Amino acid sequence: MRLRRLWPAALLALAPVLAACGDDEPDAVDDPTTSAAPTTATPTETPTEASTPTAPPVEETSEPPASNLPAACDLVTGNDIAKAMGVTFGPAETGGGTTSEGDLEWRSDNCSFEAEDLVEVTVKVTGPSDFVKGSFGCVQPSEIASIIEPADDVPGSTDGWWKVSDAPPLEATLRACSRTANVDVDLDYEDGVDYQGDPRQQAAQIAGLVLSGLQG
């Protein structure tokens, strides 16, 4: 019976001790200083490389024709060449090129016609702005392996030159000049062929036709 009376006394003795132990440590939940502050993750920006402007591709362009002048093939046809030369020619071939004489250099717009196994005729048109080096003028051709004489009798021209090879095969150029354009007519014959008529007069007829078209 004494034992039953001791249980409450023992519990009373332990109560202050438990209370004291509880007061030694602060309440982790209620103390704001111990609460972990919420953090927000900041996204990391990855630096991008600055785009380098790309230079536009360089377009390859063909040599420009004689500026401010009609194209050579618009001034003369195969029928015109055939009428002057007395033979039949194939279709026209367009082209261009550069000619050098001494310290002068110029571009031209070209139109070529061929009579197979006989002769090739090339008409070249040059304007003042086509001179790459030097000034526009009626330039005398070089005299290498050739004979040169004045040719100022072409209709529509103010000056001109006739150049012919001094040995076969026959190669010749008539240069007919006006105040606004130069017209060259090149004749390139096959070796050993016989030709009809006078090449100089034939070339003059062609050059006169082209100059007439330029002036019209």
Among the listed residues 157, 168, 166, the one whose alpha carbon sits nearest the alpha carbon of residue 203: 157
The model's pTM is: 0.70
- Position 24 confidence tier, pLDDT thresholds 50, 70, 90: very low
Decide: residue 188, CB within 10 A, 0-12 exposed, 13-18 middle, 19+ buried. middle
User: Residue 190 carries which DSSP code?
Assistant: P
Q: What is the pLDDT of residue 215?
A: 87
What DSSP line would sit under 84-153, residue for residue?
A: HHSS-----EEEEEEEEETTEEEEEEEEEEEETTTEEEEEEEE-GGGEEES--S-PPPP-TTEEEEE---
Decide: residue 38, CB within 10 A, 0-12 exposed, 13-18 middle, 19+ buried. exposed
- Position 11 confidence tier, pLDDT thresholds 50, 70, 90: very low
Residue with tokens 């202050």: 16
- Cβ neighbours for 85, distance < 8 A, ≥ 6 positions apart: 115, 119, 121, 197, 202
- Calpha distance 205→94 (Å, rounded): 21
Among the listed residues 184, 195, 189, the one whose alpha carbon sits nearest the alpha carbon of residue 72: 184
- Position 48 confidence tier, pLDDT thresholds 50, 70, 90: very low
- Calpha distance 9→4 (Å, rounded): 10
Q: Beta strand 93-101 with 119-126: parallel, antiparallel or unpaired? A: unpaired
Cβ contact 158:93 at 8 Å: no
Sorted by where each begins, the domain ranges of the chain are 72-215
- Calpha distance 47→216 (Å, rounded): 67
3-state secondary structure of 210: helix
H and E: helices and strands count for the chain: 3, 8
Backbone phi, then psi, for 189, in 5-degree steps? -85, 150
At 71-103, the pLDDT tens digits run: 999 999 999 999 999 999 999 999 999 999 989
Rounded average pLDDT over 127-154: 94
